[in-house]
């Protein structure tokens, strides 16, 4: 259990480091990086609840992200109401959508489930880009910046703490899944569904619950992302690239581990912000640089699933175990 | 692009035109889908990077035409071996190591490949649309109240010829029998002395050659850009699931159904919403008939 204890300490260190960052630096570039690391980490943690803990590997989580992003953006831009209301509406919609996808997962396994989730996100993407009267179509929705907590027009420091709370919530949910009865049942479903069912576990209900919780959290993060970034467009918020990215952080860090998504996010998000900052030095080759970090994503993904499918947490746990054995 | 819209108000018999458009489109979709279903049927891997090889085929045709003036249909003679070799290479470098791995590993390996290839194209050739028009695209054929251009007809004819050749290969040659045996039972095939690794290598290379050829064939009809494969491959998923994953005859029928939905949908409701139709069709099939129209019931829950 040394590995597990070490993981908790690493998590505490990571979140504590994030919490003290604004006390030490005021540089918006660094604050922005930390905010994005936490937000992408929370999103990957949400994916991990369905994909890692319950084994419902989705490639369409952008659907829930997009629902949340559009709900918040439209609520503030179109109706002039608080984006918090939009966030709540998005979560409700995603609960429904998650239940639908979760129902599909009861009938489909493996690649069939992944394919159906892609299709679901694509349908929403098309609707969002064609329903001009409501969503403004493929031009996207600019989100107005109105300072204040109720309107989610926050300073970088305030954003950081808000996103930290969300990240802790996502982390806590995962820890709960590692310790609780429900979590063990999900692990049973993931490892051998038929055996789990034979033991009397309500496998169908557990799978749907996992997908629904995951969807709601993804949607809430999507709403925050929309307010933070200030612009929502259908070809991004519903894209497969985004769905892959949620999975990517979790896989690199370690699928089915609580800290994994955050560790993955530290690496991938820093890499991205770093390469972005380089690309602004070389103006004129901007698209090239966007492409380069995505090429790196793809290659890293292939290498990780091939050579270290348990992710960085898994590698660390193995090293710890070896050292513990050497000491014994 | 809907051919009827491009031609304007000539004397066109709408129903006949829709039927011909369906068949022409269906033939091309079949070639894309057949490679995907072959790889799935034999290797049990959904190739999420399938569309990217189509995109590479489109770029190959574009550059061969604009830089060297090579006709895309002549290019096929070179393009098919090139993509066969690309398939062998990708198999050796990437697929070989994950063929016995879990679904998750396989899914994310091909997803990673897809992301990497798309962005290699973005870095090398930018996100712009690359369009070219060989002389065949300007020749309009009119027959029995219908009109279409020569590019569509050639693409259709070649696609159907390649698909039929592939089905014949699977059915009547020794190689085909060996491939089918491996598909039916990997372990039994190994025990019978079949070199399954060789079968997988060949399968993957043939599948990639098919989709690469399809890319060259559609290049005069659609613009090449880094995400160009996506629109076709999502269609191919729909087709392949409709026909039953791994079922080649099913894929051909699935192609016709999807083409019909697309053509009729664009005509009745408008091209903007046509994708919604086949995705709804897709989700409907997944919910009600997940093993495909002719598929064995229950295949989808095995997660094969």
Which residues on chain A are in Cβ contact (under 8 Å) with B275?
A: 122, 126
Shortest CA gap A32–chain B (Å): 25
Name the 3-class secondary structure at B102: coil
Is B303 close to A119, i.e. CB distance below 8 A? no
Question: HSE of A179 in the Cβ direction (CA atoms, 13 Å)?
Answer: 9
Residue in B closest to A121 by C-alpha: B279
Task: Measure the CA–CA gap between B51 and B214, rounded to whole angstroms.
Answer: 10
Each residue's pLDDT tens digit, A207-252:
888 899 999 999 999 999 998 988 888 888 888 889 988 998 999 8
Whether A316 contacts chain B with CB within 8 A: no
Which residues on chain B are in Cβ contact (under 8 Å) with A300?
A: 112
Task: Measure the CA–CA gap between B155 and B73, rounded to whole angstroms.
Answer: 8
Each residue's pLDDT tens digit, B110-153:
999 998 999 888 888 877 888 887 877 777 777 776 777 888 88
Each residue's pLDDT tens digit, B201-223:
999 999 999 999 999 988 888 88
Whether B219 contacts chain A with CB within 8 A: no
Whether A57 contacts chain B with CB within 8 A: yes
Mean pLDDT of B61-66: 90
Is B282 close to A241, i.e. CB distance below 8 A? no
Split at pLDDT 50, 70, 90, the class of A64 is very high
Name the 3-class secondary structure at A153: strand
Which residues on chain A are in Cβ contact (under 8 Å) with B273?
A: 126, 130
Q: Most confidently modeled of A107-121, B73-87, B96-110, B178-192?
A: B73-87
Whether B96 contacts chain A with CB within 8 A: no
CB-based burial of residue A179 (10 Å sphere; 0-12 exposed, 13-18 middle, 19+ buried)? exposed
Which residues on chain B are in Cβ contact (under 8 Å) with A197?
A: none
Q: Please choose, from the candidates B152, B121, B147, B125, the residue with its C-alpha nearest in 3D space to the C-alpha of residue B136.
A: B152
Fold of B3-302: ABC transporter involved in vitamin B12 uptake, BtuC (1.10.3470)
Shortest CA gap A55–chain B (Å): 9
Handedness of CA B24, B30, B32, B33 (dihedral sign): positive
Closest CB to B300: pick one of A112, A294, A295: A112
Task: Measure the CA–CA gap between B118 and B113, rounded to whole angstroms.
Answer: 8
Residue in B closest to A293 by C-alpha: B119
Each residue's pLDDT tens digit, B271-298:
777 777 777 777 777 777 766 666 554 4
- What domain range includes position A51? 2-327
Task: Measure the CA–CA gap between A27 and A247, rounded to whole angstroms.
Answer: 30
Tokens for A175? Answer: 């820890």
Element (H, E) at A232: strand A231-232
Which residues on chain A are in Cβ contact (under 8 Å) with B105?
A: 305-306, 309
Is B279 close to A119, i.e. CB distance below 8 A? yes
Is B111 close to A291, i.e. CB distance below 8 A? no
How many residue pairs from chains A and B have C-beta atoms closer than 8 A? 145
Return residues 261-280 of B near A (CB < 8 Å): 272-273, 275-276, 279-280
Alpha helical stretches, state H, chain A: 2-24, 28-48, 62-77, 83-107, 111-130, 132-135, 156-179, 181-191, 193-198, 203-229, 234-237, 240-253, 260-281, 286-307, 311-327
Number of domains within chain A: 1
Is B101 close to A287, i.e. CB distance below 8 A? no
Is A112 close to B290, i.e. CB distance below 8 A? yes
Closest CB to A57: pick one of B104, B119, B302: B104
Complex ipTM value: 0.81
Task: Measure the CA–CA gap between B230 and B114, rounded to whole angstroms.
Answer: 10
CATH number of the domain encompassing residue A92: 1.10.3470
Number of helices (H), then strands (E), in chain B: 12, 2
Sorted by sequence, the CB contacts under 8 Å of residue A169 that are 6+ apart come out as A42, A217
CB-based burial of residue A199 (10 Å sphere; 0-12 exposed, 13-18 middle, 19+ buried)? exposed
Residue-level pLDDT at B11? 55
Is A302 close to B112, i.e. CB distance below 8 A? yes
Task: Measure the CA–CA gap between A21 and A7, rounded to whole angstroms.
Answer: 21
Whether A131 contacts chain B with CB within 8 A: no
Residue-level pLDDT at B296? 54
Other Cβ atoms closer than 10 A to A95: 16
Q: Is the pLDDT of residue B8 over 60?
A: no
Q: Most confidently modeled of A176-180, A278-282, B59-63?
A: B59-63
Mean pLDDT of B222-242: 84
Return residues 112-141 of B near A (CB < 8 Å): 112-120, 122-123, 126-127
Q: Name the one residue in this structure whose structure tokens are 């049973």.
A: A188
Residue-level pLDDT at A102? 84
Q: Tell me, what DSSP letter sits at residue B296?
A: P
Task: Measure the CA–CA gap between A25 and A29, rounded to whole angstroms.
Answer: 10
Total-model pTM: 0.85
Task: Measure the CA–CA gap between B28 and A11, rounded to whole angstroms.
Answer: 52
Residue-level pLDDT at A184? 83
Picking from A64-68, A94-98, A194-198, B107-111, which range would have the lowest pLDDT averaged per residue?
A194-198
Mean pLDDT of A151-159: 81
Q: Tell me, what DSSP letter sits at residue A142?
A: E
What's the CA angle centered on A217, arms A254 and A11, to 5 degrees? Answer: 40
Which residues on chain B are in Cβ contact (under 8 Å) with A128?
A: none
Concatenating the DSSP letter of every residue in B119-176 gives: HHHHHHH-SS-B----GGGGPEEEETTEEEEHHHHHHHHHHHHHHHHHHHHHHHSHHH
Closest CB to A244: pick one of B109, B115, B122: B115
Which residues on chain A are in Cβ contact (under 8 Å) with B94?
A: 302
């Amino acid at each position: 259990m040394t590995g597990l204890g070490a993981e908790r300490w690493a998590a505490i260190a990571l979140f504590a480091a994030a919490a003290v960052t604004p006390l030490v630096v005021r540089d918006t570039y660094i604050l922005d990086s930390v905010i994005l690391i936490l937000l992408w980490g929370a999103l990957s943690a949400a994916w991990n609840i369905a994909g890692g803990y319950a084994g419902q590997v989705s490639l369409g989580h952008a659907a829930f992200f997009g629902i949340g992003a559009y709900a918040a953006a439209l609520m503030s831009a179109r109706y002039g109401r608080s984006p918090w209301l939009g966030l709540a509406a998005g979560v409700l919609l995603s609960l429904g959508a998650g239940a639908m996808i979760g129902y599909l997962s009861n009938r489909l396994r493996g690649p069939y489930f992944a394919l159906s989730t892609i299709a679901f996100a694509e349908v929403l993407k098309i609707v969002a880009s064609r329903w001009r009267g409501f969503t403004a179509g493929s031009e996207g929705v600019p989100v107005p910046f109105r300072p204040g907590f109720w309107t989610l027009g926050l300073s970088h420091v305030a954003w950081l703490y808000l996103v930290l709370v969300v990240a802790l919530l996502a982390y806590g949910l995962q820890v709960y899944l590692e310790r609780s009865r429900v979590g063990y049942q999900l692990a049973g479903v993931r490892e051998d569904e038929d055996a789990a069912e034979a033991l009397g576990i309500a496998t169908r209900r557990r799978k749907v619950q996992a997908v629904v919780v995951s969807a709601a959290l993804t949607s809430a993060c999507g709403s925050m992302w929309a307010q933070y970034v200030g612009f929502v467009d259908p070809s991004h918020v519903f894209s497969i690239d985004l769905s892959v990215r949620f999975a990517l952080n979790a896989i690199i860090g370690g699928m089915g581990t609580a800290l994994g998504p955050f560790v993955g996010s530290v690496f991938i998000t820093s890499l991205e912000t770093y390469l972005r900052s380089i690309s602004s030095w070389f103006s004129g080759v901007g698209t090239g640089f966007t492409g380069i970090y995505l090429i790196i994503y793809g290659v890293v993904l292939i290498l990780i699933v091939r050579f270290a499918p348990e992710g960085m947490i898994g590698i660390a746990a193995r090293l710890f175990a070896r050292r513990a054995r050497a000491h014994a | 692009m809907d051919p009827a819209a491009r031609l304007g108000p000539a004397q066109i018999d709408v129903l006949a035109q829709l039927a011909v458009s369906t068949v022409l489109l269906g033939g091309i979709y079949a070639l894309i889908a057949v490679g995907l279903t072959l790889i799935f049927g034999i290797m049990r891997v959904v190739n999420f990077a399938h569309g990217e090889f189509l995109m590479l085929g489109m770029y190959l045709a574009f550059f061969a035409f604009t830089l060297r003036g090579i006709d895309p249909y002549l290019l096929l003679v070179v393009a098919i071996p090139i993509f066969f070799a690309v398939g062998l290479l990708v198999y050796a470098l990437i697929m070989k190591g994950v063929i016995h791995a879990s679904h998750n590993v396989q899914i994310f390996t091909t997803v990673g490949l897809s992301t990497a290839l798309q962005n290699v194209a973005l870095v090398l050739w930018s996100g712009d649309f690359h369009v070219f028009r060989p002389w065949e695209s300007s020749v309009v054929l009119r027959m029995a109240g219908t009109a279409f251009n020569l590019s569509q007809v050639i693409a259709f004819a070649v696609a159907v010829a390649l698909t039929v050749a592939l089905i014949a290969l699977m059915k009547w040659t020794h190689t085909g029998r060996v491939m089918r045996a491996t598909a039916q039972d990997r372990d039994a095939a190994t025990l019978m002395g079949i070199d399954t690794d060789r079968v997988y290598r060949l399968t993957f290379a043939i599948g990639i050659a098919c989709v690469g050829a399809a890319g060259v064939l559609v290049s005069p009809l659609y613009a090449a850009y880094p995400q160009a494969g996506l629109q076709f491959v999502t269609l191919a998923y729909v087709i392949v699931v409709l026909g039953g994953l791994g079922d080649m005859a099913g894929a051909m029928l699935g192609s016709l159904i999807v083409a019909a939905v697309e053509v009729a949908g664009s005509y009745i409701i408008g091209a903007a919403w046509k994708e919604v139709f086949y995705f709804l069709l897709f989700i409907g099939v997944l919910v009600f008939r997940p093993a495909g129209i002719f598929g064995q019931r229950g295949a989808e829950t095995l997660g094969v």
